[in-house]
């Protein structure tokens, strides 16, 4: 926890205890998406943006796995 | 994996990644991890003896696994080069790499934003001098982008127009223009927070890298190179900067945005830096000691 769950400077006696969502997994969508007006669920359900048809591929791509499991991608002139 | 802690006052995420304390710090050119591997020398991040453009997962990531990704983009095998020194053709290829990474990382299930950026120069805090950029695929929309997207959404609701298109319309007079062609513009925005801040943007509305056509990409490469060359001529030295690409979040039905690239050089003169201090850090209120019209004229004349 990175902050007190209850503010100690104010007596909140009968007030409902505030339980902040301070872990990522419990983050409600509205907490980070409100300002962006981003409906994440609907975004995920639709197909992805398509590459512009006018932009031809200029490079080839070669994927390599490093010894520690990380990936490395070489982009080369087609 | 990193720990994400919610800042309840600012309502934003703080990413805690203690292992980054041990990341490679100013190695000598002989021990640069971003150079190709030389025969008889220890293997670098790139085991090949040469490469054109290479991308790999950051060894000290802020986000990995189900949280997201952190990638390093090596622009060139030439240790002593820079982005601005690459040919327009090479930069166009790099734009294709950025597009490919935007597309691929944006498909990861928990990724909410793909952010392409470059930190250049020790004044910015760069720990590896080899020309490279980075990509963060965040599990949330970062605060700056949230502010921009919200402003854009509000403006669109009230006027029916894109806010950044309206910003660009305000640059028709050219007083703050640094470079311009048929497709792109480089300008010092009237609201610049750094003395030599510059935005470069497509004149036609484009949401992000994935929306750019061949003409857009070619113009983007020319304007980007031209701008970086001007930056290095400004004080006759490699100018430190942060380059930040702002594009729409992944997803076809995500919020609309106007793709643009922001540059924040910390220098206010050759030997003086602007520091973020009391007003900027403590209050979030930038004080800038230069007029955009003056710095634009200076940059335009280089």
pLDDT digits (tens, 9 = 90+) for B11-45: 999 999 888 777 777 777 788 999 999 998 889 99
Distance CA B248, CA B113 (A): 8
Per-residue model confidence (pLDDT) at position A16: 53
How far is the first Cα of chain A from the last one, in angstroms, to the nearest whole number?
A: 51
Distance (Å) from the alpha carbon of A58 to chain B's nearest alpha carbon:
7
- For B210, the closest chain A residue by CA position comes to A51
Model confidence, pTM? 0.86
Residue B29 to residue B70: CA distance in whole angstroms:
23
Q: Crossing angle for the helix pair B88-106 and B214-234, nearest 10 degrees?
A: 120
Which residues of B carry out catalysis? 132
> What pLDDT sits at residue A28?
38
Q: Can you tell me whether residue B91 is helix, strand or coil?
A: helix
The phi and psi torsions of B214 (rounded to 5 degrees) equal: -60, -40
Q: If we measure between CA atoms, which residue out of B157, B138, B256, B102 comes closest to residue A36?
A: B256
**pLDDT at position B183 over 50:** yes
Nearest by CB to A55, which of B52, B146, B212? Answer: B212
d(CA A7, nearest CA chain B) in Å? 12
The pLDDT of residue B288 is above 50: yes
pLDDT on residue A50: 47
Does residue A52 have a pLDDT over 70? no
From residue B155, give the alpha-carbon distance in Å to each of B150, B152, B164, B185, B206: 9, 5, 10, 22, 17
Average pLDDT over chain B, rounded to an integer = 94
Q: Give B251-278 pLDDT, tens digit per residue.
A: 877 788 999 999 999 999 999 999 999 9
Q: Residue B81 CB: number of other CB atoms within 10 A?
A: 14
> Where residue A7 falls among pLDDT bands split at 50, 70, 90?
very low
Are A37 and B57 an interchain contact pair (Cβ–Cβ within 8 Å)? no
pLDDT band for position B120 (cuts 50, 70, 90): very high
Among partner residues B56, B210, B251, which is closest to A71 by beta-carbon distance? B56
Q: Check CB contact under 8 Å for A48 and B254.
A: no
Find the DSSP H helices in chain B. Answer: 88-106, 143-159, 163-169, 214-234, 283, 292-300
Question: Which residues of A are less than 8 Å from B183 in CB distance?
Answer: none
């Amino acid at each position: 926890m990175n902050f007190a769950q209850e503010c100690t400077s104010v007596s909140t006696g009968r007030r409902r205890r505030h339980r902040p969502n301070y872990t990522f997994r419990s983050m409600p969508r509205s907490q980070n998406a409100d300002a962006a007006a981003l409906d994440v669920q609907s975004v995920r359900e639709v197909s992805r943006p398509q590459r512009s048809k006018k932009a031809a591929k200029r490079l080839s791509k070669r994927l390599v796995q490093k010894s520690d499991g990380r990936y490395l991608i070489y982009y080369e002139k087609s | 994996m990193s720990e994400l802690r919610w800042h309840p006052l600012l309502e934003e995420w703080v990413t805690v990644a203690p292992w980054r304390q041990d990341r490679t710090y100013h190695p000598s050119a002989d021990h640069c991890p971003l150079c190709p591997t030389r025969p008889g020398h220890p293997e670098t991040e790139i085991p090949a003896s040469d490469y054109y453009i290479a991308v790999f997962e950051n060894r000290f990531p802020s986000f990995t696994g189900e949280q997201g990704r952190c990638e390093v983009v090596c622009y060139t095998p030439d240790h002593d080069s820079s982005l601005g020194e690459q040919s327009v053709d090479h930069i166009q290829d790099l734009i294709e790499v950025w597009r490919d990474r935007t597309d691929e990382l944006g498909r990861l299930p928990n990724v909410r934003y793909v952010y392409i950026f470059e930190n250049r120069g020790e004044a910015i805090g760069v720990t590896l001098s080899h020309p490279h950029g980075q990509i963060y695929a965040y599990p949330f929309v970062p605060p700056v982008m949230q502010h921009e997207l919200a402003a854009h959404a509000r403006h669109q609701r009230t006027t029916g127009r894109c806010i950044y298109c309206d910003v660009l319309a305000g640059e028709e007079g050219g007083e703050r223009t640094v470079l311009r062609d048929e497709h792109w513009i480089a300008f010092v925005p009237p609201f610049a927070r750094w003395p030599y801040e510059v935005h470069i943007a497509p004149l036609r509305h484009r949401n992000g890298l994935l929306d750019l056509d061949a003409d857009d990409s070619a113009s983007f490469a020319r304007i980007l190179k031209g701008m970086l060359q001007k930056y290095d001529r400004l004080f006759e030295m490699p100018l430190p900067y942060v380059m930040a690409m702002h594009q729409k979040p992944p997803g076809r039905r995500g919020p609309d945005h106007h793709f643009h690239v922001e540059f924040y050089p910390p220098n206010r003169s050759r030997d003086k830096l602007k520091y973020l201090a009391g007003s900027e850090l403590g209050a979030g209120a930038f004080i800038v000691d230069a007029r955009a019209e003056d710095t634009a004229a200076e940059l335009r004349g280089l």
